[in-house]
Amino acid sequence: MQEIETLIAKDGFWDNPESTKSVLKERTALSGKTESFHKLYKDLEDSQMLLDLALEESDSDTLEEVSKEIQAIENRIRQFSLDIMLDGEDDDRNAIVSINAGAGGTEAQDWAEMLFRMYSRWVERKGFKSEIIDFQPGDEAGIKSVTFTSNGTYAYGYLKSEKGVHRLVRISPFNANGKRHTSFASVFVYPEVDNNIVIDIEEKDLRIDVFRASGSGGQHVNKTSSAVRITHLPSNIVVQCQQEKSQHRNKEMAMKVLRARLYQLEKQKQDEKWQEMHDGKEDIAWGNQIRSYVLHPYQLAKDHRINLEIGNVSSVLDGEIDPFIEGVLLAKKR
């Protein structure tokens, strides 16, 4: 904070709006952390004083009150510890999340929609904002794929641990014989890239196709070719957006996703080089299948990276995935 205040006080600091914006954003984040720390420290001191008085006077009601307050402070400290751990280069960015149904037709597409609902509920619980960029409905039910943004403090820092294959085991609602079925869907998470990071994308490297947006019929069918698909030829990355009525707006949103994916691709290359240098020092086995959700013959959600199991699968599918996210973050940090 002192370094930032010194920087802000220098002549010419306000001459560059873009760099000014990023510095002020960092100051706001640090200010929030220091205020949280001081508030926690004061509340803990107050509770200690109240505890001493309660013990001195054998006041059971006050002891119970202090006990509840300490529990609340403990939860706040845990959350504060997680916030401090989210110190990665991109952790404070918004996230772009893509969910894709695996092989298996309607079963997998229904599972992809269940995952989309799970993350949508998580976004709501966090008080974040979300915007759908692309939505491909399933043939009979569910969705083939969906791409959306999660905008909020440390959105990418939290959601980055969700990247991987998610497995569902249940009695199929689409099978008349009531047989157990296993479905897969993949989740990809990218940090949203702001204007301070330069991603060189040349026009000659892009193939841009326009088409009519798909929909369920009636008012949802687009009468004009407003949907946009962009192929980045050097990397063969394909992105598309069809949620906006304007072709210009769809292209703008698709380019945002393309920039995020190219940025993530470059970061991945750097991480792979780092991993080669530090091979064998990673405690967590980052396999493709990160989590299983079993609805039959028993109820269990298990994260295979940290062996964390939760019996209430319904609550997990309703967006209560923080124990998994926090567990992975804590394990990786250790």
**Pairwise CA distance, residues 298 & 271, whole Å:** 38
**Residue 82: per-residue pLDDT:** 84
Domain membership flag for residue 197: no
**Residue 19: per-residue pLDDT:** 78
**Pairwise CA distance, residues 169 & 294, whole Å:** 5
CB of 317 within 8 A of CB of 302?
no
Q: Which long-range contacts (CB under 8 A, 24 or more apart) does 312-318 make?
A: 316/118, 317/114, 317/117, 317/118, 317/293, 318/118, 318/121
**Pairwise CA distance, residues 147 & 295, whole Å:** 26
Indicate the number of domains in the chain. 3
**Residue 243: per-residue pLDDT:** 85
**Pairwise CA distance, residues 317 & 303, whole Å:** 14
Are 258 and 292 part of one and the same domain? no
Q: Which two tokens stand for residue 226?
A: 């407003």
Q: Which two tokens stand for residue 16?
A: 């560059």
What backbone phi and psi angles, to 5 degrees, belong to 91?
-60, -30
Are 182 and 124 part of one and the same domain? yes
**Residue 88: per-residue pLDDT:** 84
Domain membership flag for residue 141: yes
Give the CATH number, domain containing residue 250.
3.30.160.20
Domain membership flag for residue 209: yes
Token pair 């047989």: residue = 179
Domain membership flag for residue 244: yes
| Residue of 12, 77, 93 whose CA lies nearest to 40 | 77
**Residue 276: per-residue pLDDT:** 56
What is the extent of the structural domain holding 71? Answer: 2-85
Are 119 and 171 part of one and the same domain? yes
What backbone phi and psi angles, to 5 degrees, belong to 240?
-150, 160
| Residue of 320, 327, 302, 293 whose CA lies nearest to 161 | 327
**Pairwise CA distance, residues 289 & 282, whole Å:** 17
Are 106 and 144 part of one and the same domain? yes
Q: Report the predicted TM-score, pTM, of the whole model to 2 decimal places.
A: 0.74
Are 6 and 128 part of one and the same domain? no
Coil, helix or strand at residue 101: strand
Are 237 and 105 part of one and the same domain? no
Domain membership flag for residue 90: no
Are 179 and 293 part of one and the same domain? yes
Compute the half-sphere exposure of residue 29: CA atoms within 13 Å on the CB side of its CA: 17
Are 322 and 271 part of one and the same domain? no
CB of 313 within 8 A of CB of 299?
yes
Tens digit of pLDDT per residue, the chain (334 long)?
999 999 999 998 998 887 788 788 888 888 988 999 999 999 999 999 999 999 999 999 999 999 999 999 998 998 888 888 888 888 988 999 999 999 888 999 999 999 999 999 999 999 999 999 999 999 889 999 999 999 998 899 999 999 999 999 999 888 778 788 999 999 999 999 876 667 888 999 999 999 887 654 444 445 567 899 999 999 999 999 988 888 999 999 999 999 999 988 888 877 665 555 444 333 323 346 899 999 999 999 999 999 999 999 999 999 999 999 999 988 877 7
**Pairwise CA distance, residues 317 & 310, whole Å:** 11
Domain membership flag for residue 43: yes
Q: Which two tokens stand for residue 106?
A: 């309607």
Instruction: Give DSSP secondary structure letters for 191-237.
Output: EPP-TTS-----GGGEEEEEEPPP-SSGGGS-SS--EEEEEETTTTE
For β-strands 206-211 and 180-191, DSSP reports them as unpaired
For β-strands 289-294 and 164-171, DSSP reports them as parallel
Alpha helices (runs of H) in the chain, residue ranges in sequence order: 2-9, 17-57, 60-85, 106-126, 155-159, 247-277, 313-317, 322-333
**Residue 281: per-residue pLDDT:** 37
Are 75 and 23 part of one and the same domain? yes
Give the CATH number, domain containing residue 60.
1.20.58.410
